[in-house]
Amino acid sequence: MSNFKTVARAGDLQPGDLKHIELEDETQICLANVDGTIYAIGGECTHLGGPLGEGELNGKMIVCPWHSAEFDATTGEATCPPAEDAEPVYEVRVVGEDVQVALPDAD
């Protein structure tokens, strides 16, 4: 079961924008607004931990600011080296102006 957490305001994330989020438990999340739809994937590059939310969004591709690895914002798939491993993907919903991300329940 998932637990939704408000992580941003919809008005703060325009189409083409990325946003780096760090939760209280140190989970890193990258929000991406792809043509008006907000997606969330893991926020640390699977290559060397670069902050994906500080990179660039080209279409639906998130480019890591450290070594230019690329990830599909919609699937988390690593599409360009040096990263080989995919990012986790989080369900997103917008409630009013709140951007909420589904996080797994802690055991």
CATH number at residue 59: 2.102.10.10
Show the domain range for 8.
2-104
Under DSSP, the state recorded for 88 is P
According to the model, what pLDDT value does residue 36 have?
95
Q: Give the pLDDT confidence of 36-52 residue by residue, as tens digits.
A: 999 999 999 999 999 99
> CA-CA distance, 78 to 106, in Å (whole number)?
27
Q: Which residues of the chain fall below pLDDT 70?
A: 1, 105-107
33 Cβ contact partners less than 8 Å away, ≥ 6 residues apart? 13, 14, 15, 16, 17, 18, 57
According to the model, what pLDDT value does residue 107 have?
47
How many domains does one find in the chain?
Answer: 1
Cα 70 from chain centroid (whole Å) = 12
